[in-house]
Structure 1
């Protein structure tokens, strides 16, 4: 049994504000240890549950945040940027039986600690076939095309609640309770490590590949906080203006859907000016 862990940081234990997750800050350096603890606990739990392999894919910001020296010696770590499937890189090779979304968060425009979708700001909302979408929903549709179930989700309580809509069979662990976008009631690392490890062990038997989901059509709509960003996004082929601050595109696979999404966010990021956005 092989498990892929998609590891994001905003939903990690103790993380509540931008300084906790922005590479290079003192708080980020401190919170790397908390993030690593959550991810390692998930890996240990999957091994407890019978996994033979655990591959961890770094999915946050620079994708160079985890402390490899504090991970269990049995895991492998995929670290660094510029990967074909970004946050779920590794799922496409046909050898992954289940995936865990560790340290995840709610989407742009939603309630939740550090809620956003790919970009920390600029994007105010994302919809997939009309439903409000965060990274969890988008990535869940990507992995479904490879027949890989989402078996574990960790993050704040609202992330776990949101995940019931796109991974109802998964085990959920809330490491903190949302108070505001930048505040939460947090469990201690000892408590969350124990909870995550136990949940991962329970989730391991759920890691059974199924027939890949194909033949669907996906329409993704994005809303930005400034009009010029919508204009910038239309540089990507197939992306059309649907409103003053909105664009949309339609695709026959989420493989192409998530790659187009990444192209949009890359171009939009380059169009943001300091202070004015």
Structure 2
């Protein structure tokens, strides 16, 4: 099943929503600048990773755009010059309640667990950045994404820009209001952007559940990935740096194995 038009590149609704997405990124940038942050790198991470409108961002921004980055959504954190990270426009994970809840793939993955804890993209990425001593200081998304963040970033500021009604319905704030809320939270979150000692939380056993058996089978071509159930695979990594890279490989293989048409 494809993603709704509002988030699918190339559709009229996507074109409309790009501007709103860009305005929220700008609001976070302005808030961090208000709080004394002198440099902000925006790492774009939705779908093709070419959605934000560079020409509409504040001139103080730098933007990393495009796919095939070593650490995907948190690329750049490995270079020792990042003091804090914000997760803007996040959502709950696959198998959870939440607006467009998913983990990496739109519908094919029905659940992800890290050491038996159900995982969202936020939780996965929080383990990655912790290994570099970088705190998550701000999370925005729907109310359930913010609730999810209490588990992996309890000290971060949270901004709910909409309230979940169903997977495809929400009570939304206006862009003007959400921009003001995000800017205020980012200004406060700037004080939390202080590197700490790296956290080595491994080993990590990651398990993925798919909506079809053949996706699990296809995924086992990735070294170290084993079947753990009829529609499940699992692997163990000593670090989440290794774990997220294996996760990317598994999701890439699974995505290529999805049947667009039977047979």
For Structure 1 versus Structure 2, the TM-score category normalised by the shorter chain is over 0.9
What SS is found at the alignment partner of 2:207? strand
Task: Identify unmatched segments of 5+ residues in structure 1.
Answer: 1-16
Find 1:161's aligned residue among 122, 147, 159: 147
Structure 1 residues 8-157: aligned runs within 5 Å? 18-157=4-143
Distance 1:117 1:275 in 2: 23
Who is 2:214 aligned against? 228
TM-score by length of 1: 0.93
Find 2:173's aligned residue among 187, 193, 205: 187
Distance 1:187 1:54 in 2: 25
Distance 1:75 1:203 in 2: 17
Instruction: Give structure 1 regions of 4+ aligned residues with deviation exceeding 2 angstroms.
Output: none
RMSD: 1.0
Shift of 1:215: 5.4
- Alignment coverage as a number of residue pairs: 261
Distance 1:131 1:34 in 2: 33
Task: Identify unmatched segments of 5+ residues in structure 2.
Answer: none
Shift of 1:18: 1.4
Who is 1:196 aligned against? 182
Change in CA separation of 1:204 and 1:233 when aligned onto 2, cut-off 3 Å: same
Per-residue CA shift, 1:246-275, capped at 9, x if unaligned?
000000000000000000000001111114
Distance 2:201 2:99 in 1: 35
Per-residue CA shift, 1:189-217, capped at 9, x if unaligned?
00000000000000000000000012521
TM-score by length of 2: 0.98
Shift of 1:276: 4.8
Distance 2:199 2:112 in 1: 22
Per-residue CA shift, 1:207-253, capped at 9, x if unaligned?
00000012521000000000000000100000000110000000000
1:172 aligns with 2:158: yes
1:238 aligns with 2:221: no
